[in-house]
Amino acid sequence: MSSIRDVASRAGVSVATVSRALTGRGKVSAATKATVQAAARELGYVASVTASSLASGRTRNIGIVMPTVGRWYYSSVLQAVASELNGAGYDLTLYITENDEQFRHKIFADFLLRKRLDAVISVTLRPTDHELRQLKKVGRPLLAVGGIIPGVATVRVDEVSIAELATEHLLSLGHRDIAFIGSPEVVDADFQLTSSRERGYLRAMEAAGITPPAEWRISADFTTAVAYQRARNILVNPRFKPTAFFCASDEMAFGAIMAARDLGLSVPQDISVIGIDGHEIGELFGLTTIAQFPAAQGSAAALKTLALLGEIELESDPTESFLSTEFVARFSTAPPPA
């Protein structure tokens, strides 16, 4: 059975260079890396992850915790993180809380500490102060996606500002009766993403001299199906006739559009709809939205985590400011009907 010394001899380099070339740790030129990999293939040599871990104290495995992978935002973040980490020679262990508080606590208080991980990425979930102390005690760097944790690197967009922009767009078209479709507290428990978007909505409405009544703020669960039913209930209510919906996610905006169409209403002639996300099928609905580029958030999170581990150096720090968003104007918004 070939050894790392055999590979070094075949490639004409040192054992240390072979280790760097095959594990991805440390700098080595592309040409040398290719030579070492070719020698390893010819000799049938596979680097021992266990031996590398014992020598370096690293497992080359990063944990990622998120509420679900069943929604577009989370699956997009996950795919981008996995792509960056795989390219850097890291494994990824996924933990899903499914909004179960006891299971979520078990993940942070037990699984992440017991499992051999080099770092943890938390997506829209804020560990408790006790959980943060535990992670720090065992030397696990933490990166948070979606909100602020004092003393922790973060990757996020300006939730309040983009919600304010979405509402201002509807106001600029002449809408005043604007309903907000958000989420219940159980979905919003950590970084208050939906609350932040609701604050942006309220700030823009109040700046326009409008105080939205409670019935204009509608609870959904970020799914198309529930948003469809909530929007339908509002649209058939004879006492409340909004001229526009601002939805806290594109998937809920899809539900609002389908509810309006099923009731024989035209979008945007009878009712306007705007969302937040930049969902990949938004164009099929002609949805006007604020794109927040979750894949870019995932890539930034992975790269920042690798930088925290000393694997790479970043030209700029993606956690020092808000990541970019983009207003995408399509065909789901127009001036209100006369």
DSSP of 1-25, one letter per residue? ---HHHHHHHHTS-HHHHHHHHH--
Helix (H, G, I), strand (E, B) or coil at 238: coil
114, burial (CB in 10 Å: exposed 0-12, middle 13-18, buried 19+):
exposed
Identify which of 67, 73, 70 has the alpha carbon closest to the alpha carbon of residue 291: 73
Q: Where are the domains of the chain?
A: 4-55, 59-156+295-308, 159-291
CATH topology classification for 59-156+295-308: Rossmann fold (3.40.50)
Which tokens in the block code for residue 166?
A: 């979405």
The DSSP bridge partners found for residue 247 are: 181
Q: What's the confidence (pLDDT) of residue 50? A: 45
pLDDT interval class at 132 (50, 70, 90)? confident
pLDDT digits (tens, 9 = 90+) for 45-84: 766 554 444 344 557 889 898 888 988 999 999 999 999 9
Helix (H, G, I), strand (E, B) or coil at 273: strand
The single-letter code of the amino acid at 175 is H
User: Which CATH number applies to 4-55: 1.10.260.40, 3.40.50.1000, 1.10.600.10, 3.40.50.2300?
Assistant: 1.10.260.40
| CATH topology identical between 59-156+295-308 and 159-291 | yes
pLDDT interval class at 262 (50, 70, 90)? very high
Q: What's the confidence (pLDDT) of residue 214? A: 87
Q: Give the residue ranges of DSSP H helices in 65-192.
A: 72-87, 101-106, 112-114, 129-137, 159-172
| 125 or 49, which is more confident | 125
Q: What's the confidence (pLDDT) of residue 24? A: 65
Mean pLDDT across 224-236 = 94
Residue 295: which H helix or E strand, with range? helix 294-308
CATH topology classification for 159-291: Rossmann fold (3.40.50)
Identify which of 41, 57, 6, 46 has the alpha carbon closest to the alpha carbon of residue 23: 46
Residue 326: which H helix or E strand, with range? strand 326-328
Q: From the centroid of its chain, how far is CA 120?
A: 14
Q: What's the confidence (pLDDT) of residue 320? A: 60
Helix (H, G, I), strand (E, B) or coil at 117: coil
Which tokens in the block code for residue 114?
A: 């017991």
pLDDT interval class at 1 (50, 70, 90)? low
pLDDT of 190 higher than 60:
no
CA atoms of 155 and 78, how far apart (whole Å): 14
| Mean residue pLDDT across the chain | 85
Residues in Cβ contact with 249 at an 8 Å cutoff, skipping those fewer than 6 apart: 73, 222, 275, 276, 277
Q: What's the confidence (pLDDT) of residue 121? A: 92
Identify which of 127, 90, 116, 125 has the alpha carbon closest to the alpha carbon of residue 303: 90
pLDDT digits (tens, 9 = 90+) for 144-182: 998 877 788 889 999 999 999 999 999 999 999 999 998
CB 252 within 8 A of CB 275: yes
CB 119 within 8 A of CB 62: yes
